[in-house]
Structure 1
Amino acid sequence: MKLRLLTLAAMFAALCAIGAFVKIPVGIGSAALDTVPALVSAAFLPPVYAGAASLIGHLSSSLYAGFPLGPLHLLIGAEMFIILFIFTKLHQAGLHIWKWIFFIFANSVIATLPFYWIISPAFFVAVLPGITIATILNAGIAMIVSPVVVRVMDRVKTHA
């Protein structure tokens, strides 16, 4: 069972890294579709593994963009880990509407809030709309893809 979880986590982390290549032109270089696979992974992985996939996805995305915020991407990666950890817990609790509301609010507003003080209020106001658009796009794609992937995995289990 542990090997299966590690394999799935590695697969979702790799998909997050691939999603990092699909950039979203919202003004900040590291906005990408790197979170979609991590959101989908909440249906299959424990919270720590889903959070790790998200952290790897963000670090891959920021690496491809040249780390525009420097070491602050480690903070963002940690935030992504925590957000996906809680998202997965909400999914496991059956709070399917609340998990999406939480993700969109946490990833767009709460995750960017520290930069109000770390960089400047102007930076926070400038990046908030773009991050919100990227977050809604990631969530929307994951909302569409997740049920399909879950059905496919259920079919694979019944036929295996």
Structure 2
Amino acid sequence: MRAKKMAFISLLVALTAIGAAIKIPAPIGSIALDAFPALLAAALLGGPAGAVVGGMGHLLSALLGGMPLGPLHFVVAIEMAFLSIVFAYLYRTGKRWQAGILFILGNTFAAPLPFLFLISKAFYLSIVPSLFIGSAVNTVIALVIIPRLSPIIELMISKERMSQ
């Protein structure tokens, strides 16, 4: 099972590259669909898997976008990893809507807080609307897709356990 899980995590990290390539124009930069695979990993495989996909996914998205914030993207990757772990905990304890709302709020308002102090208040205020739209789109996609994929993943896991 460990090899299948690692392969699935790798597939989801690769899916973040595809999501990162789908750009929705925004006032600062663009909105990418790179958070959805992290939420998928968090819900189906747990917090650590979601953290890996979220952190790696953000770095991949930033790399494809030209790394406009430079090394500050590593801070954002850590924040995405943390938000993925929180999403996993809430989602897996049955609080699915709360997980989605907390992810949207955390990614929109809390994650960019360091930039309020490091860059400027104007930057923070201008990036919040884009982050809200991007977070909402990624979360809605995740909350629609996860329940449909969950039975398939559970079936794969149960078949793997029965064959051992």
Tell me the TM-score normalised to structure 2 length. Answer: 0.89
Alignment partner, residue 69 of structure 2: 69
Between 113-122 and 3-12, the greater mean CA deviation after superposition: 3-12
Q: How many residues align?
A: 160
Higher helix fraction (1 or 2): 2
- State the distance in 2 between where 1:13 and 1:124 align: 27
AA aligned opposite 2:148: V
Quick one: distance in 2 between partners of 1:15 and 1:126? 28
Structure 2 segments unaligned to the other structure (5+ residues): none
Deviation at 1:155, TM superposition (A): 5.4
Is 2:85 the partner of 1:85?
yes
SS at match of 1:24: strand
Which runs of structure 2 are paired with 1:1-160 in the superposition (5 Å)? Answer: 1-29=1-29, 31-154=31-154
**Could you say what secondary structure the match of 1:104 adopts?**
helix
Residues 30 and 61 in structure 1, CA contact (< 8 A), matched pair in contact too: no
Offset, 1:31:
2.6
RMSD: 1.8
- State the TM-score, normalizing by the size of structure 1: 0.91
Offset of 1:14 from its aligned partner? Answer: 1.2
Percent of matched pairs sharing the same residue: 36
Further displaced range: 143-152 or 91-100: 143-152
**Distance in 2 of aligned mates of 1:25 and 1:48:** 31
